[in-house]
Amino acid sequence: MMEGTAGVSGHRHADESLLDNPDRLAEQDPGGMLRFTASAGAQVRESAALAAEANLTVLADDGRPRAVVIAGIGTAGRTGDLLATVAGPRCPVPVIPHRSAGVPGWVGAADVVIAVSASGRSPEALGAAEAAHRRGARLVAVGAPDSQLQSVAERARAPFIPVPRRAPARASLWALTVPVLLAARTLGLVKVNEADLAETAARLDADADRCRPTAESFVNPAKSLALGLSGSIPIVWGSSPLATVAARRFGDTLSANARYPVVTGALGEAGRGRVGLLDGVFGGLVEGERDIFADPNETGSDATRLRLVLLRDGGLNAEDDTDEPLAVEERRADAVQTLAERRGVRCDVVTAEGGSALERLASLMAVPDFASVYLALAHGLDPMAVPAITEMKELSNQ
């Protein structure tokens, strides 16, 4: 095997038949990434119980903070984005995700730092926890029990919420997010009640059932989405700030699980330039040359095309003072769908459901999470093992 390709296997064109063969799916997924993805609802319940056992009430003793910094990298860093969008524009203090070592220079005794790491040993979370302790900021730590992060929290006499490491970090988003939300609730920054958590867990359970390996492609929304994306360059846009968080999460999982390059972002930003991708060499130009009598789902074609995935917020705008009126978001989403249709660029739409911001986020993330795993399996890739990540760590640590 050539140097630099150690451990790389799979095939360029997706094997559609594999997705409707549960036995072959199980063989392709030896690490159980589908099973871990299906555990999202259970993660919400378990993390809520673990957070309830932690002594979070001490956070409220010093009153409302000046700002909250959520420190972590990768999936742990996404928890800050989820907190910011669930808190919404009425949040009384800034909520700032921080993805590099240490903490911002202005952090001090008036602030709260929430350090998050699934393994409990990421340099970013550890550095932030230690810096928060040195500067006298209130600290909350979330991560694996009996880890370095727990040791730092104990030295700082700060609350630590243990999250058992049952799955890879990217399949543990909900296990890491719920403690962050409940810490913020204790500080009076976000309204998340027990009913919201229960309904979100139930939504994740229901979507896991719809996306189960034994459900065939024509009734399984995740398999259908995966097959539509196969061989394409996905563009994932969110119609609102909440939907944009879900879009960026889909970009994470498509890259890590299925190894697909992906463009993600907010639809409002796309309208300032990136919507031009629909006219480009992977969009309207290549679609204009396509044989109209050819099979639209043919995987053997060498022409790489865009595939648009539009995440829409579902018509619920709980806040009267959101950044943009709902009508503006809806018109923009309709316009982009029309533009894609005129250029022959295929578009998948996932619409949020649920009464709370948290449940709507879950409804936008669950099916795409499964789709990224199914897309990996269809290409013969093990979504659990990413050789390039291991190789990069080895090369970086030499």
Q: Can you give the pLDDT at residue 386? A: 84
Tokens found for residue 360: 């709507």
Query: Burial letters for 303-312: b for 16+ Cβ neighbours within 10 Å, e otherwise?
Result: eebbbbbbbb
Give the alpha-carbon dihedral of 251, 255, 256, 258, to 10 degrees.
110
Predicted local confidence at residue 294, as pLDDT: 59
Enter the tokens of residue 28. 């392709």
Question: Which of 276, 273, 229 is closest to 253 using CA atoms?
Answer: 229
> Residue 241, Cα to own-chain centre: how many angstroms?
14
Work out the pLDDT band at 322, boundaries 50, 70, 90: low
Work out the pLDDT band at 112, boundaries 50, 70, 90. Answer: very high
Q: Would you say the C-alpha torsion 205, 207, 213, 219 has a positive or negative sign? A: positive
pTM confidence score: 0.92
101 has pLDDT over 90: no
Q: What pLDDT is attached to residue 325? A: 78
Rounded distance, CA 152 to CA 130, Å? 7
Report how far residue 11's alpha carbon sits from residue 15's, in angstroms, rounded to the nearest whole number.
9
Q: Which pLDDT score is estimated for 90?
A: 87
Lowest-confidence pick of 100-114, 160-174, 291-305: 291-305
Place of tokens 């396509």: 290
Of 28-42, 70-84, 261-275, 285-299, the poorest mean pLDDT is in 285-299
3-state secondary structure the chain: CCCCCCCCCCCCCCCHHHHHCHHHHHHHCCCCHHHHHCCHHHHHHHHHHHHHHCCHHHHHHHCCCCCEEEECCCHHHHHHHHHHHHHCCCCCCCEEEECCCCCCCCCCCCCEEEEEECCCCCHHHHHHHHHHHHHCCEEEEEECCCCHHHHHHHHCCCCEEECCCCCCHHHCHHHHHHHHHHHHHHCCCCCCCHHHHHHHHHHHHHHHHHCCCCCCCCCCHHHHHHHHHCCEEEEEEECCHHHHHHHHHHHHHHHHHHCCCCEEEEHHHHCCCHHHHHHCCCCHHHHCCCCCCCCCCCCCCCCCEEEEEEEECCCCCCCCCCCCCHHHHHHHHHHHHHHHHHHCCCEEEEECCCCCHHHHHHHHHHHHHHHHHHHHHHCCCCCCCCHHHHHHHHHHCC
HEC states along 175-216?
A: HHHHHHHHHHHHCCCCCCCHHHHHHHHHHHHHHHHHCCCCCC
Lowest mean pLDDT: which of 175-184, 233-242, 249-258, 266-275?
266-275
For residue 216, pLDDT beyond 90? yes
Looking at residue 390, its pLDDT comes to 83
pLDDT at 299: 44
Q: Report residue 87's pLDDT band, with 50, 70 and 90 as the boundaries.
A: very high
Which structure tokens are listed for 228? 């539509």
